[in-house]
Amino acid sequence: MPQHLDLDTIQARADAATDGPWYPDYVDGVIHDSEGRFVAQTTVNDPNPNATFIARARVDVPALIARIRELATDLTEMTHCRDAALRALHRDDIDTDIDVEDTIANALWGPGWDWEDERTPRLIARDVASEIRPALAKTTQQRDQALARVRELKAENERLRAR
């Protein structure tokens, strides 16, 4: 099971560190900031890989935190859209003038996606969400109207039987 990351704590540590970018000095294993001030030093026999890693961490960690937050937001939005679409698709007992499957398919095929680009899922989530929401809202409204009408008819049926 993946370990939970406390992004706020990691971000606070990154924010508290010396401003970057940092640069490794491969002669002595020292890492300096952009003004040449000492930040850290590696002391193993071959300090170059460690120095490179430490220096890059100053830029990489904030970038990774931002990307994780962006993906988490995208996942939340996609999950919301998926759940709403599934709820609408499984209400096939209610007749509507909206074909949710066509709405989803049209949104996905609309602009011609580059499936090799890692940004594609995020772009799809943003585009599809705006396309699907109106259809889901109308479908939900029609379902609610149909259910209200069913309740009215049941009540009328009971009233007539009681006579």
Select the more confidently predicted residue: 32 or 73.
Answer: 32
Q: 22 and 58 in contact (C-beta within 8 Å)? A: yes
Q: 33 and 39 in contact (C-beta within 8 Å)? A: yes
Domain that holds residue 54: 1-90
Q: Do residues 86 and 63 share a domain?
A: yes
According to the per-residue pLDDT averaged within each range, which of 33-47, 48-62, 108-122 is highest? 48-62
According to the per-residue pLDDT averaged within each range, which of 3-12, 93-102, 136-145 is highest? 3-12
Number of domains in the chain: 2
Quote the pLDDT of residue 10: 92
The 10 Å Cβ neighbour count of residue 125 is 20
Quote the pLDDT of residue 1: 41
Q: Do residues 136 and 152 share a domain?
A: yes
Cα–Cα dist 95/78, whole Å: 26
Quote the pLDDT of residue 64: 94
Q: Do residues 108 and 63 share a domain?
A: no
- Tokens at residue 109, please? 């095929």
Quote the pLDDT of residue 111: 53
Quote the pLDDT of residue 3: 73
**Who's near 47: CB < 8 A, 6+ residues apart?**
26, 28, 29, 41
Quote the pLDDT of residue 23: 92
Q: Do residues 81 and 54 share a domain?
A: yes
Q: Do residues 73 and 103 share a domain?
A: no
Confidence of residue 159 (pLDDT cuts 50, 70, 90): confident
Quote the pLDDT of residue 107: 56
Q: Do residues 82 and 149 share a domain?
A: no
Q: What is the pTM of this model?
A: 0.51
| Percentage, residues of the chain above pLDDT 70 | 70
Q: Do residues 100 and 66 share a domain?
A: no
Task: Tell me what the mean pLDDT of segment 137-150 comes to.
Answer: 82
Examine the fold and report which residue of 90, 110, 139 is the final residue of a domain before the chain moves on.
90
- Nearest to residue 125, comparing CAs of 91, 65, 159, 79? 79
Q: Do residues 37 and 54 share a domain?
A: yes
Q: In b/e form, how buried is each residue of 138-152, taking b as 16+ CB within 10 angstroms?
A: bbbebbeeeeeeeee
Examine the fold and report which residue of 73, 90, 107 is the final residue of a domain before the chain moves on.
90
**Who's near 119: CB < 8 A, 6+ residues apart?**
none
Examine the fold and report which residue of 69, 90, 111 is the final residue of a domain before the chain moves on.
90
